[in-house]
Chains A and B, each alone.
Chain A
């Protein structure tokens, strides 16, 4: 790294480019200005919209209680930036410090932040995916299209019961629409929360009138002569008639544009250090390329320094703030991104929240409340320590469990608590599916120990 003189110059006159104009990109830009960066700032985004908030898209927007174009993120700070919206970044020249854009333009930088996020994994069969009535949900335009179509839908098929799929099923039921959910695992949410909690989610869906089919796959989508979706064929030989199908098979990281750039980017994201600096393919940390948000994979001290990639709203904000701070700070002033994973979902009238990494859990203990009442706190144990917790309608205890995770408290917790019931006396297997099976589910992905993991990294081309 150059001396203090460079940093001073960088802070006052440098050029910072942020690729990705969503939550992480915006919050990073605001943090840069808030911390006194006065140089030029450019935000590049492939969508034509200003930064908007995604959580309402699968909830209020589908219910029709909020409009898709009213989800703009609140601005915390004036950022005085050049916006390049509706133009995707298509390449990176690290030696020349330039980002190539889809319109042929190039933008030079002194410091680059990559926050390109993820896109929804499409239905793998292209002609079937093109049928009228087949949707994915990731962007504001996706949500607006889906919401319009729901007004005339006869039956909605949701393929994949992860968080997004389950939230969509919930919104459809609230609108009174018949819904069939097909899930490859034994229950909804098992990839993220395991089979014990998944069973509760399954009961919740069925109670709310969802036609839930678990342990099955959709083998094909069939259209009518006009190219409109007519039905889906399932792996047990049955057929579901539906005019709307929502493909919620998880997300793919937006790293294809970095192929051949020399950056340590692959289908699982871009590897970076705890200070959000990107690794190149040689496993050497870069000085001028930073990463934040869903597209980042960074090592976490609490979880054995494994590289975590998190599709979590709060992580995007926290990581963007750390990345921005570090971009304009000397090495001794840099901060590590040590955010404890946390996410929330609301579905079928229940507020679900989690901290830590549940999918690491070997066992689960229902520490408070009861599964049967749908109000409980489950604590996950891994090698004799508390590694994660999940609450159904018991959010207010989560902070306590977060501290147990941070302090590597012994599992199972062996002290009396309020609302501790009989089922809280003994842990049971958390029942996560075999991680080697392909799954759309977990919103936390453990992706190995090494930033230069040869099995997955640096595969050129599409993810």
Chain B
């Protein structure tokens, strides 16, 4: 197969519903050159090793001009904000991530996520109540989409009366990450730009309020916390809040939707989950392996020539780490294309690994566990209306655009 062909097939929307045979093809060459300056890594151990390699940078400024130019067109946010820690290297990455972690997780705030459990449960119940007595729902629009945004609102401390506005900005920004080919690109960009600006101004105002009257939410902590690293600048708080919103949104939507889709394709597992809710924990890990919401990490680059799997990736090259392919690597996972919630030793790459591993992982796990358990319990005789469902454009944040499910009724 000629250079780049496979990659084009993977990004081609026609293959979105099932990219896994293409990944299997890709794994025949663990590290394959797919463009002048683009290397795609598809096998488990090679991905794992590069995720822990300090010669790999997440800062696009380290790309060679050639590599930067050869990247497929991306709908980049054009914003005046400084890059958030996702796109930075240590020590800046470490400092910002540390400061963001202080009000979110251990060791400083070990109970933040745990304490949200009750509230998450209520949001899930309310959304399912909202299905009413309909005999068909679109899981994406009716459930998966609104749920994580509401959670982030509560986490950041967005006042209830503003949540609706927040949802509408989030929707617009999310849509821009997933361009609809029928829509005018200029119009889409203007819409997204406007949503970003409005969201930014809104958050800036809220940050000011929280500074003078802090609550126990995360935004208040970010603006008032005096950590050993000092305090975040207002711009840093703004870019961090935007990162939490965007990174925590689409990914969780897809995790829940992919989860329900997989359960509907495996009715025996769905039934087990209904009967033994504790299955949700290992099931979640298997889901993160089987259908990871982030299929690949496209924004890494090399600071030095790296020899790996018989290939030398030159300095400054763009490196794509195909997590979803590593998760199906038969060298690591026996019978990898089987969905098996009882799988042992399931060290998947669904949340990445190394210093950039998913910041919100504990929250995402809890959200999706609660959501799937509750959906399994309450939906009576759920059936897929179409399989495969229609998918979003995005090859990186891969997931169905709609997931129509017909049901007999909704239990209370």
Enumerate chain A interface residues (CB-CB to B < 8 A): 367-369, 373, 375, 396-397, 399-400, 403, 415-420
Contact = CB atoms under 8 A, between A and B. Distances in A.
Contact of A419 (B53, B91, B305): B91
A415 B55 contact: yes
A364 to B, nearest CB: 17
Nearest to A417: B54
B52 A416 contact: no
B297 to A, nearest CB: 15
Contacts of B89: 418-419
A374 to B, nearest CB: 10
Contacts of A420: 54
Those 10 A-B pairs whose CB atoms lie nearest each other, nearest first: A417-B54, A419-B90, A415-B304, A418-B89, A399-B52, A416-B303, A400-B52, A396-B355, A418-B54, A416-B304
B49 interface: yes
Nearest to A418: B89
What is the interface residue range for chain B against chain A?
10 to 19
Nearest to B88: A418
Nearest to B58: A418
A200 to B, nearest CB: 16
A368 B54 CA distance: 9
B354 interface: yes
A172 B52 CA distance: 35
B53 A400 contact: yes
Nearest to A374: B228
Contacts of A417: 54-55, 303-304
Interface in B150-199: none
Contacts of B303: 415-418
| Interface-centre pick from A373, A375, A403, A419 (highest chain B CB count, 10 A) | A419
Given A417-B54, A419-B91, 5 more contacts: A397-B355, A400-B49, A416-B304, A419-B89, A420-B54
B129 interface: no
A368 B52 contact: no
B83 to A, nearest CB: 14
Contacts, number: 45
Contact of B55 (A369, A373, A375, A416): A416
B94 interface: yes
Contacts of B55: 415-418
Contact of A418 (B49, B57, B305): B57
Contacts of B355: 396-397
A416 B52 CA distance: 15
A373 B230 CA distance: 14
28 contacts: A367-B54, A368-B54, A368-B90, A369-B90, A373-B91, A375-B94, A396-B354, A396-B355, A397-B52, A397-B355, A399-B52, A400-B49, A400-B52, A415-B55, A415-B304, A416-B55, A416-B304, A417-B54, A417-B304, A418-B55, A418-B56, A418-B57, A418-B90, A418-B303, A419-B54, A419-B90, A419-B94, A420-B54
A355 B233 CA distance: 37
A416 B306 CA distance: 11
B56 to A, nearest CB: 8
Contacts of A400: 49, 52-54
Contacts of B90: 368-369, 418-419
B48 to A, nearest CB: 8
Contacts of A375: 91, 94
Nearest to B52: A399
A367 B53 CA distance: 13
Contacts of B52: 396-397, 399-400
Contacts of A416: 55, 303-304
| Interface-centre pick from B54, B56, B355 (highest chain A CB count, 10 A) | B54
| Interface-centre pick from A400, A403, A418, A419 (highest chain B CB count, 10 A) | A418
Interface in B48-66: 49, 52-57
A261 to B, nearest CB: 39
Contacts of A403: 49
A396 B352 CA distance: 12
Nearest to B59: A418
Nearest to A415: B304
A387 B117 CA distance: 46
B91 A369 contact: yes
Interface in B30-52: 49, 52
A222 B150 CA distance: 65
A368 B305 CA distance: 18
Nearest to A420: B54
Contacts of B49: 399-400, 403
A420 B53 CA distance: 13
A403 B91 CA distance: 23
Contacts of B304: 415-417
A22 to B, nearest CB: 24
A417 B305 CA distance: 11
| Interface-centre pick from B52, B89, B303, B304 (highest chain A CB count, 10 A) | B52
A182 to B, nearest CB: 29
A68 to B, nearest CB: 22
Contacts of A415: 55, 303-305
A213 to B, nearest CB: 27
B366 to A, nearest CB: 22
A416 B304 CA distance: 6
Contacts of B53: 400
A399 B57 CA distance: 17
Contacts of A367: 54
A388 B91 CA distance: 23
Contacts of A397: 52, 54, 355
Contacts of B305: 415
Interface string B82-124: 0000000111001000000000000000000000000000000
Interface string B349-374: 00000110000000000000000000
Contacts of A373: 91
A397 B53 CA distance: 7
A373 B91 CA distance: 11
A399 B357 CA distance: 15
A366 B276 CA distance: 51
A373 B94 CA distance: 12
Nearest to A399: B52
A63 to B, nearest CB: 13
A396 B53 CA distance: 9
A367 B304 CA distance: 15
A368 B94 CA distance: 12
A397 to B, nearest CB: 6
Contacts of B57: 418
A397 B57 CA distance: 13
A170 to B, nearest CB: 14
A202 to B, nearest CB: 19
Nearest to A395: B355
A369 B355 CA distance: 14
Contacts of B354: 396
Contacts of B91: 369, 373, 375, 419
Interface in B298-357: 303-305, 354-355
A402 to B, nearest CB: 9
A256 B137 CA distance: 73
A35 to B, nearest CB: 15
Nearest to B304: A415
B96 to A, nearest CB: 13
A12 B306 CA distance: 50
Contacts of B94: 375, 419
Contacts of A419: 54, 89-91, 94
Contacts of B54: 367-368, 397, 400, 417-420
A369 B54 CA distance: 11
A26 to B, nearest CB: 19
B345 to A, nearest CB: 12
A419 B92 CA distance: 9
